Amino acid sequence: MIATKPIHPRILIFSQRNIFGKALFRCPLYEFENIISQIDSVELLAPTADPCTFRNRTAKRLGYHAPIVLNPKIQSEKSKITYDVFFAVCGAPTDLLMVNAVRDLRHACKISVCLMDELWMTQMKGHRHFLNILKGFDVVMLYYSQTVAALGEEIGRRCVFLPPGVDTILFCPYPNPPHRTVDVCSIGRRSEITHRSLLKMVDEDGIFYFHDTLRGDQAIDSLEHRKFIANLGKRSRYFIVNPGLIDRPDIRGNQIEIGNRYFEAAACGSILLGELPKNGKFEALFDYQDALIHLPYNSSDIASVIHELDEKPERQAIIRCTNVVQALRRHDWAYRWEAILNTIGLEPMPDLRQRKERLRTMADAIEQSGEGVRIPDMPENGSEAVPRSAAV
């Protein structure tokens, strides 16, 4: 059953895009918020605040030590209507300070859901006072599967694993796939051993190896950054992927979690090279042949792996096509939002059904026709548009 369009927005999204700016790791979160705004009846609450003010810095500092967390000062207005769902998106536990500052809005909604991006089990004790804020939510969705049980026990609330996703329409290389002029793409954390091996391939084989050469964590524009990552991936033959904080066992402990890069690289039709996340979830999310070409972290054998694959163009074509099709059918943000709605027992809206139909049509056309396919035109639901309503 699909719900009809309500007169007033039924979802209130609390976004921190105007508080923490455009940190690179937050850009996919904003992308998710935008897609939800396109496929549901949404008001986006994006208040402003300066996290560097004395008040906000003090609230954050005391939050680590005090059982009662001080509220930071943020600019927002009281809602004049009642929503079905309050949906808060957090990149890190300390973001909950800002969520707590608008708790009156949360209480005015029938159901409250919080999505937490990065929360390692090793951090839970140090963040326990921030995590107490989650006790005010009905459901907590977590990107990190191995944190779910521990957090649920800690806060006494329903906690559910939600895999990261991607705007697969934006990242899809079809219907006019560009030439893959980038041989290997590596963004973010990397193994220096593998990196040196790739630099050697640059010198000896003349490959085009795209990698970070500057340190920085802020995007000039979050939408433009996502388009850049999509366009880069569409032009990359191989994409290096590794579990979250693979190089920081001091933070993650023994925890292995699936990062956004796996989903983005697959949606672009790149061939994934990297460490296999052995956490019981990856195998279910990417349960098809050659979804990942296993390359152990800190491996120096990447040249031989690439040379072997380059000798099998038909295998490469199958991998690329399958990655795109599987992403369209399983890893779009629409499916993640549908999973949240199913968790809280809320019916999906017509625009969600339309986006899923578009994704299905794209996937079927690519699978049936292969390279160079022409995808039938579908009614645009604004994959690149800004949210319909932004209360600042």
| Vertex 325 angle, CA 261 and 188, to 5° | 10
Domain end point (choices 311, 329, 347) = 329
Same domain, yes or no: 152 and 245: no
Same domain, yes or no: 156 and 229: no
Two structure tokens written together for 168: 């697969």
**What was the pLDDT predicted at 248?**
94
Name the residue range of residue 74's domain: 1-165+333-392
Two structure tokens written together for 43: 């008001």
Q: Tell me how far apart the alpha carbons of residues 35 and 42 are, in angstroms, rounded to a whole number.
A: 10
Q: Tell me how far apart the alpha carbons of residues 272 and 290 are, in angstroms, rounded to a whole number.
A: 8
Evaluate whether 113 touches 137 at the Cβ level (below 8 Å). yes
Alpha carbon 256 to its chain centroid, in Å, reads 16
Same domain, yes or no: 294 and 215: yes
Q: Tell me how far apart the alpha carbons of residues 301 and 194 are, in angstroms, rounded to a whole number.
A: 8
Same domain, yes or no: 257 and 375: no
Residue type for position 105: L
Averaged over successive runs of 10 residues, the pLDDT of the chain (392 residues) comes to 70 92 89 97 86 50 48 57 94 92 87 97 93 96 97 97 98 95 95 96 97 85 94 98 94 95 98 95 96 96 97 95 97 98 97 98 90 43 40 30
Number of domains in the chain: 2
Same domain, yes or no: 316 and 196: yes
Two structure tokens written together for 156: 């006494």
Q: Which residue has the tokens 């939800």?
A: 36
Q: Tell me how far apart the alpha carbons of residues 98 and 96 are, in angstroms, rounded to a whole number.
A: 5
Same domain, yes or no: 10 and 75: yes
Evaluate whether 282 touches 276 at the Cβ level (below 8 Å). yes
Domain end point (choices 290, 306, 329) = 329
- Write the CATH number for 141: 3.40.50
In 3D, which of 120, 60, 114, 118 has the Cα closest to residue 89? 114
Per residue, the 3-state secondary structure of 213-247, as one string, reads CCCCCECCCHHHHHHHHHHHHHCEEEEEECCCCCC
Could you tell me the end-to-end alpha-carbon distance of the chain, in angstroms, rounded to an integer?
A: 34
Alpha carbon 221 to its chain centroid, in Å, reads 17
Stretch (H or E) spanning 314: helix 313-330
**What was the pLDDT predicted at 101?**
87
Same domain, yes or no: 267 and 306: yes
Is the sign of the CA dihedral 357, 363, 365, 367 positive or negative?
Answer: negative
Helix (H, G, I), strand (E, B) or coil at 159: strand
Same domain, yes or no: 186 and 301: yes
Same domain, yes or no: 303 and 187: yes
Domain end point (choices 313, 329, 345) = 329
Question: Is pTM beyond 0.85 here?
Answer: yes
Same domain, yes or no: 248 and 159: no
Same domain, yes or no: 246 and 386: no
- Write the CATH number for 254: 3.40.50.2000
Is the sign of the CA dihedral 57, 119, 334, 5 positive or negative?
Answer: negative
Same domain, yes or no: 322 and 341: no
**What was the pLDDT predicted at 47?**
87
Evaluate whether 326 touches 165 at the Cβ level (below 8 Å). no
